[in-house]
Amino acid sequence: SQQGEEDPQALSIQEGENATMNCSYKTSINNLQWYRQNSGRGLVHLILIRSNEREKHSGRLRVTLDTSKKSSSLLITASRAADTASYFCATRAIGNTDKLIFGTGTRLQVFP
Amino acid sequence: GAGVSQSPRYKVAKRGQDVALRCDPISGHVSLFWYQQALGQGPEFLTYFQNEAQLDKSGLPSDRFFAERPEGSVSTLKIQRTQQEDSAVYLCASSPRPRGEETQYFGPGTRLLVL
């Protein structure tokens, strides 16, 4: 079963607007990662935030993590049509496992 | 350098047929993962190799699913007696070291359709 739930399930915005996606998860984690998946293609890693971090930036991406609420958000600023994709959060649980547990994803559509 | 590659990219199988899906990880990567992604869902973990050792197969849905990585590089996921519910995209990922914080590098996936 999937660890996380993301909302919204789908999001449509205009180019230049910001997009915010939220992820909730269930168990204690080592880190949380965000991935992007374009139609018909594999997953591409975007950003990783460790459990002892609260916020991280990478280019137009800003990720926050609240371990007390078991939630994370991904903000994409000044969106572009090329940002159109599905976005997934994935958690790596504490322990001796390396597997990632993915959320259900948010489908982002950016209109030019 | 080359990323993770998977073959075939698409596979159509008749129900009951056996299929074999191949993954070529990034050279030198120790860890290799298989995930199954149903339509409209996030990937779900199937199995994990550290070199040639299969350390976690807790996600394999039934004994019809079998994975191997005999020489610690290329991996094959085999599905015997395929069923319609096996239709999904099968993703392979690799990462440089085990038990680290490295991200996983994903291949393009094999889209399996069982008729």
Helices within A39-110 (DSSP H only): none
Query: Is residue B2 predicted with pLDDT exceeding 90?
Result: no
Q: Which residues of A touch B106 (CB under 8 A)?
A: 35, 42-44
Asked whether B19 and B78 are in contact (CB, 8 A), the reply is: yes
Residues of B in Cβ contact (< 8 Å) with A88: 42-43
pLDDT (0 to 100) of residue B98: 73
Structure confidence at residue B99 (pLDDT): 62
* C-alpha span between B84 and B69 (Å, rounded): 26
Question: What's the CA gap between A90 and A76, in Å, rounded?
Answer: 17
Query: Per residue in B29-57, pLDDT tens?
Result: 999 999 999 998 999 999 999 999 999 99
Give the residue from chain A lying closest to B38, CA to CA. A104
- Alpha-carbon distance A61 to B8, whole Å? 34
The pLDDT tens digits of the residues spanning A72-94 come to 999 999 999 999 999 999 998 77
Report the range of poorest mean pLDDT among B9-18, B76-85, B88-97.
B88-97
pLDDT, greater one: A37 or A28: A37
- Measure B83 CA to nearest chain A CA, in Å: 20
Three-class SS state of A11: strand
Reported in sequence order, the residue ranges of B2-70 that DSSP labels E, i.e. its strands, are 5-7, 10-13, 19-24, 31-37, 44-50, 53-56, 65-68
pLDDT reading at B101 higher than 70: no
Shortest CA distance to B90 belongs to which of B103, B75, B73?
B75
When pLDDT is cut at 50, 70 and 90, the band that residue A42 belongs to is confident
What is residue B107's predicted lDDT score, i.e. its pLDDT?
A: 95
Arithmetic mean of pLDDT, A22-50 = 90
CB–CB contact A102 B42 (8 Å) = yes
Q: How far apart are CA B52 and CA B13, in angstroms?
A: 28
